[in-house]
Structure 1
Amino acid sequence: MRRPTLRTGVRWKISIAITAVGALTVMALSLVVHNAARVSMLDNARDLQLDRVLFAQRIYETSKQTRFGAKLNDAALPADLKAKTDRGRKATSVAEGKNGVPDIWAAVPVGNGDVLSLHSTFTDRSSNVISDLDRALVIGSVAVVFGGCALGILIGGQISRRLRKAAAAATKVAEGHTDVRVRDAIGGVVRDETDELARAVDALTDALQERLEAERRVTADIAHELRTPVTGLLTAAELLPPGRPTELVRNRAQAMRTLVEDVLEVARLDSASERAELQEIALGEFVSRRVAVLDPQVVVRVVHESWVNTDPRRLERILGNLLGNAAKHGKGPVEVTVEGRVVRIRDHGPGFPEALLREGPSRFRTGSSDRAGHGHGLGLTIAAGQARVLGARLTFRNAAGSASAPGGAIAVLWLPEHAPTATGSFPILPPQGG
Structure 2
Amino acid sequence: MRRFAFRTGIRWKITLAIAAVGALVTIALSLVVHSAARVSMLGSAREVQLERVQFISRNAEAGRKPPMGAKLNDPELPAELRQKAQSGRRGTYIQERPHGVPEVWAAVPLGNGQVLSLHTPFRESADLLPDLDKALVVGGLAAVIGGSALGVLIGGQISRRLRKAAAAAQRVAHGDPDVRVRDAVGGVVRDETDDLARAVDAMADALQQRLEAEQRVTADIAHELRTPVTGLLTAAELLPPGRPTELVRDRAQALRALVEDVLEVARLDSASERAELQDVALGEFVSRRVKVLMPEATVRIVADEVVSTDPRRLERILGNLLANAARYGQPPIQVDVEGRVVRVRDHGPGFPEALLREGPSRFRTGSTDRAGVGHGLGLTIAEGQARVLGARLTFRNVAAPGVLDRSLTAGGTPVGAAAGAVAVLWLPEHAPTATGSFPVLKPPQG
Coarse TM-score class (shorter-chain normalised): over 0.9
Determine if contact 1:367/1:373 at 8 Å carries over to the other structure.
no
Range that drifts further, 301-310 or 76-85: 76-85
Q: Which moved more, 1:204-213 or 1:372-381?
A: 372-381
Given that 1:34 and 1:133 are in contact with CA atoms closer than 8 Å, whether structure 2 keeps it comes out as yes
Give the distance between the partners of 1:228 and 1:360, measured in 2 at CA: 32
Which stretch has the larger CA shift, 6-15 or 129-138?
A: 6-15
Compute the displacement of 1:314 (Å): 0.6
Structure 2 match to 1:7: 7
Q: Give 1:285 deviation, angstroms.
A: 0.9
1:346-368 CA distance string (max 9 Å, x none): 11111111111111111112221
Taking structure 1 as reference, are residues 358 and 22 closer, same or farther at Cα in structure 2, changes over 3 Å only?
same
Deviations 1:272-322 (A, max 9, x none): 111111111111111111111111111111111111111111111111111
Who is 1:278 aligned against?
277
Match of 2:88?
Answer: 88
**Partner Cα distance (1:341, 1:108) in 2:** 106
SS in 2 for 1:231: helix
Task: Give the equivalent residue in structure 1 for 2:114.
Answer: 114
What's the counterpart of residue 424 of structure 2?
412
Query: Quick check: 2:106–2:117 contact (8 Å CA) kept in 1?
Result: yes
Q: Distance in 1 between matches of 2:350 and 2:178?
A: 35
| Structure 1 residue 196: Cα displacement | 1.2
Q: Is the aligned partner of 1:424 residue 2:436? A: yes
Of 168-177 and 412-421, the range deviating more from structure 2: 168-177
How does 1:186-197 map onto structure 2 within 5 Å?
Answer: 186-197=185-196
Aligned residues: 426
Once residues 406 and 422 of structure 1 are traced to their aligned partners in structure 2, the CA distance between those partners, rounded to angstroms, is 41
Alpha-carbon shift at residue 160 of structure 1 (Å): 2.6
Instruction: For residue 232 of structure 1, report the CA deviation from its aligned partner.
Output: 0.2
* TM-score of the aligned structures, taking structure 1 as reference length: 0.94
* CA deviation string 1:69-128 (max 9, x = no partner): 1111112212222232233222111111252421100111121221111011112x5421
C-alpha separation in 2, matches of 1:237 and 1:257: 13
Question: Following superposition of structure 1 onto structure 2, how do residues 294-313 of structure 1 map, counting pairs within 5 Å?
Answer: 294-313=293-312
Secondary structure, counterpart of 2:24 in structure 1: helix
CA distance in 2, matches of 1:228, 1:103: 111
Question: Tell me, which stretches of 5 or more residues in structure 1 are unaligned?
Answer: 428-434
Match of 1:232 in 2: 231
Aligned to 1:57: 57
Query: Residues 56 and 68 of structure 1 are in contact (CA less than 8 Å); yes or no, is this contact kept in structure 2?
Result: no
Counterpart residue type for residue 200 of structure 1: A
CA distance in 2, matches of 1:369, 1:91: 99
Contact kept? 1:280, 1:310, Cα under 8 Å = yes
Q: Percent identity between the aligned chains? A: 74
* Structure 1 residue identity aligned to 2:96: E
Partner of 1:211: 210
Letter in 2 for 1:189: V
Amino acid in the other structure paired with 2:13: K
Shift of 1:268: 0.5
Q: Distance in 2 between matches of 1:306 and 1:230?
A: 42
Aligned alpha-carbon RMSD (Å): 1.8
**Change beyond 3 A, Cα 1:118–1:373:** farther
Letter of the structure 1 residue corresponding to residue 257 of structure 2: T
- The amino acid across from 1:16 in the alignment is L
Secondary structure of the residue aligned to 2:32 is helix
1:130 matched to 2:129:
yes
**209-218 vs 10-19, which moves further:** 10-19
Query: What is the distance in 2 between the residues matched to 1:376 and 1:63?
Result: 124
Shift in CA distance, 331/98, structure 1 to aligned 2, threshold 3 Å: closer
Under a length normalisation based on structure 2, what TM-score does the superposition of the two structures give? Answer: 0.91
Q: How far apart, CA to CA, are the structure 1 residues paired with 2:99 and 2:417?
A: 84
Is the CA contact 2:277–2:308 (under 8 Å) kept in the aligned structure 1? yes
CA shift for structure 1 position 4: 4.5
1:28 is aligned with what amino acid?
Answer: A
What amino acid does structure 2 have at the position aligned with 1:17? Answer: A
Structure 1 moving runs of 4+ over 6 Å: none
Cross-structure match for 2:348: 349
Q: What is the 5 A alignment of 1:144-155?
A: 144-155=143-154
Contact 1:305 1:340 in 2 (8 A): yes
Does structure 1 retain, via aligned residues, the 8 Å contact 2:333–2:345? yes
Equivalence for 1:19: 19
Residue segments in structure 2 that go unaligned for 5+ positions in a row: 406-415, 440-446
Q: Is the 8 A contact 1:94 1:104 kept in 2?
A: yes
Alignment-derived partner of residue 31 in structure 1? 31
Structure 1 equivalent of residue 104 of structure 2: 104
CA contact (8 A) 1:59 1:67 kept: no
Distance in 2 of aligned mates of 1:5 and 1:277: 49
Q: Whole-Å Cα distance in 2 between the matches of residues 84 and 406 of structure 1?
A: 97
Tell me the equivalent position of 2:74. Answer: 74
Give, in angstroms, the shift of residue 42 of structure 1: 1.1
2:272 and 2:380 mapped to 1: Cα distance?
A: 17
- Per-residue CA deviation, residues 142-192 of structure 1 (Å, 9 max, x unaligned), is 232233333333333332333233223323322322332222233333222
Matched-pair contact (CA < 8 Å) for 1:102–1:121? yes
**Secondary structure of 1:399's partner?**
strand
Cα drift, residue 2 of structure 1: 5.3
Match of 1:432 in 2: none
Distance change in 2, residues 1:305/1:216 (3 Å): same
Q: Is the 8 A contact 1:332 1:348 kept in 2?
A: yes
Name whichever of 322-331 and 359-368 sits farther off.
359-368
Structure 2 CA distance, aligned partners of 1:366 and 1:32?
73
Partner of residue 250, structure 1: 249
- Report the CA distance between 1:370 and its aligned residue: 1.5
What amino acid is aligned across from residue 227 of structure 2 in structure 1?
A: T
Q: Distance in 2 between matches of 1:305 and 1:98?
A: 91
CA contact (8 A) 1:46 1:106 kept: yes
Partner in structure 1 of residue 408 of structure 2: none
1:175 aligns with 2:174: yes
**Secondary structure of the corresponding residue to residue 331 of structure 2:** coil
1:320 counterpart letter in structure 2? G
Between the aligned partners of 2:155 and 2:16, the Cα distance in structure 1 is 10
- 1:265 offset after TM fit, Å? 0.5
The verdict on how the C-alpha distance between 1:406 and 1:90 changes in structure 2, with shifts beyond 3 A counting, is closer
